[in-house]
């Protein structure tokens, strides 16, 4: 069964959520994931909108920052000397500028600026070590309380946290997900690893995997698009390659801070080692976490400014990482980058799985509430979902599916996508027992398959559109593509994108006034595809990309709700009126100017998007 979840969720236990007026905890996040409403702060930090997910999730993990669990607890306690330390007082402030100063102080303590990581002086005034243990215990208790242990298996939780390494704001974060209740005594953090991901892997192996009681754990790299090229270096040793292979089977393809598949700049007509025009989807202008540095419509950080295609590191992008894995395998015999795909939200508002465009409330508390997400975080998006193919909705079944990479990522919608490679007849789609045959005669997404001499790789793709909800039908399937990567005879990595079902639809695809779709697309799709261009003896990877019919982006819907239509010739006058109303209500700066940006003059932005899903790859190996 296809199970939809979110493995990247922050609550008020994280400093950057707390300073954004989020006072919700893990229990709230799990309740939201199961369909219950939450009250989120408005742009003024006071209680604002009631948020509710469009459909409950099947699984979720709360991943608050492991480094700061104890420090945030002593700072936010109702009593104790530590709460009066300036950082703590600033974190509890209501003024947004004071909150942002606190955020800068916190990130400096976390080694994300120029100084080495160092716990707050608040820990000299309060017991941060005990507070961290207590908070870690509370996180585990919340996961246990919301885990459905009945025969119904309706909802699964995981004990988890985020490892937050980001020297100079180059994102190296990992979400650490434990199989079950067996966990490390405390979260392993940058204070333990001296900002070395390899040290994190070693510690997870020593303190969990190798300790002999069944403890098991995964680390999921996220936001490689904002890593400044540092997320996926060549392994420094065989041990490092082995640790990565064992602990990091999947990577996060998309979340609210952008997509990491590939990158194509429409204005210059080229991409980062690609000519795939669909790689313009949900791209962030910069390549590091300073992309969040806009306040009141003004980017406050030089490093948050746009960078050109030439300066964007190729290994910020997962497709290039996969290609480089093949190149490394050709020279070393080991591919350290066999990565499956998931999506998640990275919400900092405790809204697990809130990835829908319609009704998007933002993911950064008050900093992203109401008009602020249009004003300050226009390039961000609602994030994605992690999907696994598992036998049942349980911790073991989901964890095992992630380990074997039988997963896919979506940009927030819920289509079902199957991808197999094997020995399949052309008419398998008509078989009533197609899935059993697919498994018996081949392998699913995330697997390796060796092809015999003189044979061509054969693939089975099957998909169903997102059914949507009674009030909001899902998008149809416009087309399904296969993305192939390989290394040529000169040792240069290559790629090819093939439409195997459907085709691009002409026109806008939506009604410019109502945003209702004007193209229907496919409701189901199934086909067998043979790579007739496969070169015998060449290793390659293939993954499937499902493209939905056009729909309005979240920003378009919010702008229209404010009386500003990005499609209208009167957009400029409309945004002036909306700005005036917002300023009268207490806003500051150019609130709705972004609504009138024109896609033809933008590298990446468009008011209309094509939601999508990405299967984990299948690696085809030559016979040995």
Residues 483 and 375 in one domain: no
What tens digit of pLDDT does each residue of 503-543 get?
998 889 999 999 999 999 999 999 999 999 998 888 999 99
Mean pLDDT of 83-98: 93
Which tens digit of pLDDT belongs to each residue from 204-228?
A: 999 999 999 999 999 999 999 999 9
pLDDT at 342: 98
Which CATH number goes with the domain that contains 615?
A: 2.60.40
Q: What is the per-residue pLDDT across 288-320, written as a single tens digit (0 to 9) for each?
A: 999 888 888 888 888 889 999 999 999 999 999
Q: Given this model, what pLDDT does residue 565 score? A: 97
Mean pLDDT of 152-166: 95
| Rg, C-alpha atoms of the chain | 24
Domain that holds residue 255: 2-407
Chain-centre distance of CA 560, in angstroms?
Answer: 27
Same domain, 136 and 61: yes
- 55-75 pLDDT, tens digit per residue, is 999 999 999 999 999 999 999
Q: Is the pLDDT of residue 435 over 80?
A: yes
Q: How far apart are the first and last CA of the chain?
A: 34
% of the chain at pLDDT higher than 70: 100
- Say whether both 86 and 224 belong to one domain: yes
Select from 407, 424, 448 the last residue of a domain. 407
Tokens of 317: 């992008």
Note whether 523 and 473 are same-domain residues: yes
On whether both 395 and 508 belong to a single domain, the answer is no
Same domain, 254 and 348: yes
- Closest C-alpha to 363, from 290, 455, 257, 459: 257
At 22, the pLDDT band (50, 70, 90 cuts) reads very high
pLDDT at residue 109 is higher than 90: no
Does one domain contain both 530 and 597? no
Tokens linked to 270: 């080229």
Q: What percent of the chain has pLDDT over 90?
A: 87
Is the same domain home to 297 and 182?
Answer: yes
Strands (E), 46-112: 47-51, 59-62
Whether the predicted pLDDT of 624 surpasses 70:
no
Q: State yes or no: pLDDT of 451 exceeds 70.
A: yes
What letter does residue 436 receive in the DSSP assignment? Answer: H
The Cα diameter of the chain in Å comes to: 74
Given a cut of 70, whether residue 594 has pLDDT beyond it is yes
Sign of CA dihedral 201, 202, 205, 207: negative
Q: What whole-number distance in Å separates Cα of residue 256 and Cα of residue 384?
A: 7
Residues 526, 419: Cα–Cα separation, whole Å: 10
Q: 224 and 143: one domain?
A: yes
Interval 424-439 mean pLDDT:
95
| Residue 450 parent element (H or E) | strand 448-450
Band (pLDDT 50/70/90 cuts) for residue 113 is confident
Q: Are residues 8 and 135 in the same domain?
A: yes
For residue 365, the SS3 value is helix
490: its two tokens: 């000169």
Please, which pLDDT band fits residue 454 given cuts at 50, 70 and 90? Answer: confident
Q: Which of 375, 407, 439 is the last residue of a domain?
A: 407
User: Tens of pLDDT along 347-383?
Assistant: 999 999 999 999 999 999 999 999 999 999 999 999 9
Query: Can you tell me the distance from the alpha carbon of 497 to that of 484, in angstroms, rounded to the nearest whole number?
Result: 6
Structural domains of the chain, count: 3
- Give the count of alpha carbons within 13 A of 263, CB side only: 29
Q: Are residues 310 and 335 in the same domain?
A: yes
Q: Are residues 237 and 318 in the same domain?
A: yes
Q: What is the pLDDT of residues 163-187, one digit of tens each?
A: 999 988 899 999 999 999 999 999 9
């Amino acid at each position: 069964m296809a199970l939809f979840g979110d493995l990247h969720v922050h609550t008020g236990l994280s400093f950057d959520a707390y300073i954004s007026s989020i006072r919700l905890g893990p229990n709230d996040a799990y309740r939201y994931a199961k369909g219950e409403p939450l009250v989120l702060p408005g742009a003024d930090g006071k209680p604002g909108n009631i948020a509710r997910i469009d459909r409950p999730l099947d699984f979720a993990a709360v991943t608050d920052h492991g480094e700061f669990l104890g420090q945030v607890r002593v700072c936010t306690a109702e009593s104790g000397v530590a709460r009066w330390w300036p950082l703590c007082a600033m974190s509890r402030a209501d003024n947004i500028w004071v909150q942002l100063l606190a955020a800068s102080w916190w990130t400096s303590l976390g080694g994300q600026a120029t100084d080495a990581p160092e716990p707050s002086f608040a820990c000299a005034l309060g017991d941060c070590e005990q507070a961290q243990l207590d908070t870690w215990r509370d996180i585990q208790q919340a996961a246990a309380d919301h885990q459905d242990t009945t025969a119904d298996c309706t909802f699964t939780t995981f004990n988890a946290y985020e490892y937050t390494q980001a020297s100079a704001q180059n994102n190296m974060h990992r979400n650490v997900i434990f199989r079950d209740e067996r966990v490390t005594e405390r979260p392993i953090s940058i204070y333990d690893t001296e900002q070395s991901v390899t040290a994190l892997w070693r510690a997870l192996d020593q303190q969990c995997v190798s300790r002999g009681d069944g403890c098991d754990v995964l680390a999921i790299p996220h936001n490689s698009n904002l890593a400044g090229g540092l997320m996926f270096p060549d392994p420094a040793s065989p041990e490092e390659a082995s640790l990565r292979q064992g602990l990091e089977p999947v990577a996060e393809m998309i979340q609210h801070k952008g997509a990491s598949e590939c990158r194509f700049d429409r204005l210059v007509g080229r991409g980062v080692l690609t000519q795939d025009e669909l790689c313009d989807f949900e791209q962030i202008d910069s390549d590091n976490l300073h992309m969040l540095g806009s306040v009141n419509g003004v980017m406050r950080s030089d490093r948050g400014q746009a960078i050109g295609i030439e300066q964007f590191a190729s290994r910020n992008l997962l497709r290039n990482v996969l290609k480089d894995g093949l190149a490394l395998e050709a020279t070393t015999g080991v591919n350290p980058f066999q990565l499956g795909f998931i999506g998640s939200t990275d919400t900092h508002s405790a809204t697990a799985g809130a990835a829908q465009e319609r009704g998007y409330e933002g993911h950064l508390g008050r900093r992203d509430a109401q008009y602020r997400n249009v004003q300050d975080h226009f390039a961000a998006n609602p994030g994605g979902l992690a999907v696994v193919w598992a036998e049942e909705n349980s911790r073991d079944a989901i964890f095992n599916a992630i380990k074997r990479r039988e997963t896919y990522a979506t940009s927030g919608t819920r289509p079902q996508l199957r991808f197999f490679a094997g020995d399949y007849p052309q008419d398998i789609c008509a078989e009533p027992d197609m899935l059993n045959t697919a498994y018996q005669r081949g392998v699913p997404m995330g697997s390796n398959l060796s092809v015999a001499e003189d044979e061509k790789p054969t693939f089975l793709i099957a998909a169903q559109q997102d059914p949507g909800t009674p009030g909001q039908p899902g998008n149809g399937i416009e087309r399904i593509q296969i993305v192939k990567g390989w290394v040529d005879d000169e040792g240069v990595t290559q790629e090819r994108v093939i439409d195997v079902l459907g085709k691009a639809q002409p026109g806008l695809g939506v009604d410019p006034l109502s945003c209702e779709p004007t193209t229907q697309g496919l409701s189901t799709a199934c086909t067998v595809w043979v790579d007739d261009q496969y070169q015998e003896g060449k290793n390659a990877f293939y993954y499937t990309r499902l493209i939905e019919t056009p729909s309005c982006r979240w920003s378009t819907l919010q702008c229209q709700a404010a009386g500003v239509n990005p499609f209208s010739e009167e957009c400029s006058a409309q945004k002036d009126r909306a700005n005036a109303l917002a300023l009268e209500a207490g806003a500051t700066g150019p609130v709705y100017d972004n609504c009138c940006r024109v896609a033809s003059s933008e590298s990446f932005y468009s008011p209309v998007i094509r939601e999508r899903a990405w299967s984990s790859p299948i690696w085809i190996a030559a016979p040995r």
